[in-house]
Amino acid sequence: MSPGITLRPFLPGDYPEARALWEATPGVGLSAADEHAPILAFLARNPGLSLVALHDGRIVGTILVGHDGRRGFIHHLATGADHRRTGIARALVDAAIAGLRGEGIGKCHLMVFEMNREGRAFWHSIGATFRDDLVLYSIPVE
Ligand SMILES: CC(C)(COP(=O)(O)OP(=O)(O)OC[C@H]1O[C@@H](n2cnc3c(N)ncnc32)[C@H](O)[C@@H]1OP(=O)(O)O)[C@@H](O)C(=O)NCCC(=O)NCCS
């Protein structure tokens, strides 16, 4: 990772800046679950696991990380367009996995839009396993 980039836990006050990054980042899917209150609830349920990358005090990368006691989940991995290919996402994922390991979690999952070629290239490059034996189903519960 480039000098001048630091990682730290994602704090509740980071939401507006992180949200702006997500909105500017094709490949990050946003829904009602990404409004302020649900994201703060996610952070509170998974203390210290989600991270931001900072450059000159500005958020240039994010990763949301949680688990359900059994498996970990990664959401909203994003690096600002001006900071890509400098190792930020790799560093965020390494730190995320270390955090999950520290909580006794043995595997984590993530979802990528099928058409997201750069996202898929990233996950492939860091050794994530592509699961062609699974499909995703969703059920609304509201
Ligand atoms: C995918 C994404 C997070 C990668 O962030 P990044 O900080 O640029 O990634 P890194 O610099 O850590 O890249 C690590 C390696 O991943 C691979 N990689 C990253 N981006 C790539 C791309 N666009 N095409 C091909 N390979 C890529 C490379 O092997 C790279 O190593 P290298 O630069 O030494 O060749 C970033 O492009 C992004 O925010 N995309 C939009 C959001 C998204 O798709 N998120 C992932 C879906 S959950």
65-96 pLDDT, tens digit each: 999 999 999 999 999 999 999 999 999 999 99
Q: How far apart are CA 98 and CA 86, in angstroms?
A: 20
The reported pLDDT for the residue numbered 142 is 84
Over 90: is that where the pLDDT of 18 sits? yes
Question: Which fold does the domain 5-125 belong to in CATH?
Answer: Aminopeptidase (3.40.630)
Contact (CB, 8 A) for 67 and 103: yes
Whether 27 lines ligand 1, by a CB cut-off of 6 Å, is yes
CA distance 62 to 30: 14
With a 6 Å cutoff on the Cβ, whether 90 touches ligand 1 is yes
The full set of domain ranges for the chain reads 5-125
For residues 98 and 21, what is the distance between their CA atoms, to the nearest angstrom?
24
The larger pLDDT score, comparing residue 1 to residue 72, is at 72
Identity (one letter) of the amino acid at 49? L
- DSSP notation for 1-43: --TTEEEEEPPGGGHHHHHHHHHT-TT----GGGSHHHHHHHH
* Atom number in ligand 1 closest to CA 86: 11
